[in-house]
Amino acid sequence: MKEWFTSNELADEALPGLPDTKRGVQFLADRTGWNESLAYVRDRSGRGGGLEYNVALLPALARIELERRHRRIEAPEPAPAEDIVLGDDLSDRAARERDARLAIIAAFEAFSTGQRLSIRSRAKIFTDAYVAGTLTIEPWIRELVPGMSPRTLMRWRAAKAIGRASRLAVDRAAARKGTGVIDVANGGAVRNFVLALMAQNRLLSAQQLRQLIRSEFGDTLTVGAKTVPVPPVRTIQQAVKTIRETEHVALTKLSNPDRYRSTMAPSGVGTLRWIKEPNTLWMIDASPVDALCVDGRHHIYACIDIATRRQVLYVSRTPRAAAVALLIRKAIMAWGVPDKIKTDNGSDFVARDTQRLFAALGIEMELSDPYTPQQKGHVEAVIRTFQHDCATLLPGFVGHNVADRKAIEDRKSFADRLGEETAKAFDVRLNGAELQVYVDRWNETIYSQRVHSALGTTPVLAAAASKRAIRTVDPRALDLLLMPVAGGNGTRDVTKFGVRVDGFHYVVMDALPGDRVLVRMDPNDAGRIYAFGAEDGRFVGEGVCPELAGIDPA
């Protein structure tokens, strides 16, 4: 509310006990000594000059009428952090009740400033005006506090003055929560029992729950010092309704862990925003493609660079360590060598060949905890984006779940579907190689050129803006590291006959009998191997088996 008025403004208000002309107000100010009060009179700023008078100078009746006309009761400013009492477990209703009472107290304090009346008189005048509705009050405050007495107002002021604003928070509905028979019976054991049954089988009726309670606890329950019979079905229905509302998250976590992880579990948004440079951290994962190919259903392997959100996708017929290696090769040839790669505990990701490849390239491997896909949410989002943005448009799309697949099948009548092959039903036309071409084209022309919400730019531009040096590796050396190792763990002892692999001997001219080597097989020539030192990884030399040389391993 405005607290400073010119003589003209006071005359326009026509307040009781004050003249209704500018000249009359000026005569009153001179006669009563307003102009000598340094605290309540000041020069008017702006053109015209003159004086302004504080509302504290007004007679009591004039001041009260001015307050009634212009005082507005509204939400107070947020309390400073140091005034907030931690640990106050307030419901939303209780917090709003507290804020409404604080707003009323603040309005009363402003009303009282400069008043020459006693505190009791001021409280009486203020509360009467509040109850009569002559004060301007925000509707939500009026709804929560329809009325009050002077004694109530004084009690609220006292609670605020001693720093106990939480006492102003009253939620009568919340005060009754947790006091029902099911809640308190047998020290809370009955409620826990019902909660466990609901988590195990959400379809149990109240009648069945009552029978199970009687079977577990008997026909009577203990409530404090009293013994009461098992409540009727209607009471249990109400308790079940309340438990479903208050324990919704807990029930979901117990009864549907997948839904809890995907919709409720903390996602850790922003935890990797400190990664600003490319190739600091990659994430990799795999999932079956939501589309069929003429040569079967394939898996999509995905790799994302966290800093730039660039992604590489590789199509594989089956989940295997070789697919992981080829995905990494594809990403390294496009982006360079990363510092760290995070993945899950899948057998294809933790295979010895994969770990050996990472070690040879100096890449740190970080594994997420079992059954915690949220720890690699970025690559999970990549796969989800691919499935919904790319796979949906593929010939052979079978839907993202059973319901989707059923809807696609239902496009035709049962008679049309009877005896129809799956490939024809879903319009399957692509093979694995064609799917890879389609996926790469989508990644390069659509995804990479689209502004990413977390970056504010496209992945391509985000990568181009970095000045970090890229660590590269010779393609031939990389191909060598990707070659499959010999059976077992890949290590062999060199004998005078050479190196034995699958019953054949390979002669390695630069190896001596007694040396222990790691053997990699040439994927294009069954008669050729490459030997490396088993301890230090240094290249020893090529080995040749004359009887197999030049023969395709396949």
Same domain? 33 vs 58: yes
**pLDDT tens, residue by residue, 342-385:** 998 888 888 888 888 898 899 999 998 887 777 888 999 999 99
Q: What is the CATH number of the domain that holds 522?
A: 2.30.30
Last residue of a domain, one of 70, 91, 124: 70
Same domain? 455 vs 524: no
Same domain? 93 vs 241: no
Same domain? 327 vs 310: yes
What is the reported pLDDT for 86?
Answer: 38
* Dihedral, CA of residue 470, residue 474, residue 477 and residue 478, to nearest 10: 50
- CA 293 to the chain's CA centroid: 35
Same domain? 333 vs 374: yes
**Distance, CA of 519 to CA of 531 (rounded, Å):** 5
How many domains does the chain divide into? 5
Taking alpha carbons only, the member of 79, 72, 66 closest to residue 16 is 66
Same domain? 382 vs 448: yes
What is the reported pLDDT for 353?
Answer: 80
Q: Is residue 219 part of a domain?
A: yes
pLDDT of residue 330 exceeding 60, the answer is: yes
Last residue of a domain, one of 70, 97, 121: 70
Q: What is the CATH number of the domain that holds 39?
A: 1.10.10.10
Q: Is residue 401 part of a domain?
A: no
Q: Which domain holds residue 100?
A: 81-174
Same domain? 212 vs 324: no
- CA 338 to the chain's CA centroid: 27
Last residue of a domain, one of 174, 190, 222: 174
Long-range contacts of 83-90 (CB under 8 A, 24+ apart): 83/163, 83/165, 85/165, 85/166, 88/166, 88/169, 90/166, 90/169, 90/171
Q: Is residue 511 part of a domain?
A: yes
Same domain? 434 vs 300: yes
What is the reported pLDDT for 285?
Answer: 94
Same domain? 455 vs 320: yes
Position 85 confidence tier, pLDDT thresholds 50, 70, 90: very low
Same domain? 105 vs 31: no
Q: Is residue 452 part of a domain?
A: yes
**Distance, CA of 30 to CA of 254 (rounded, Å):** 79
**Distance, CA of 301 to CA of 321 (rounded, Å):** 11
What is the reported pLDDT for 53?
Answer: 79
Q: Is residue 389 part of a domain?
A: yes
| % pLDDT > 90, the chain | 34
Taking alpha carbons only, the member of 530, 499, 533, 501 closest to residue 517 is 533
Same domain? 322 vs 387: yes
- The average confidence (pLDDT) of the chain is 84
DSSP secondary structure code for residue 463 in this structure: H
**pLDDT tens, residue by residue, 477-526:** 888 888 888 888 889 999 999 999 999 999 999 999 999 999 998 877 88
Q: Is residue 308 part of a domain?
A: yes
Q: Which two tokens stand for residue 439?
A: 């996926």
**What does the radius of gyration of the chain's CA atoms come to, in whole angstroms?**
39
Q: Is residue 518 part of a domain?
A: yes
Q: What is the CATH number of the domain that holds 388?
A: 3.30.420.10
**Distance, CA of 388 to CA of 16 (rounded, Å):** 73
What is the reported pLDDT for 87?
Answer: 42
pLDDT of residue 82 exceeding 70, the answer is: no
Same domain? 114 vs 239: no
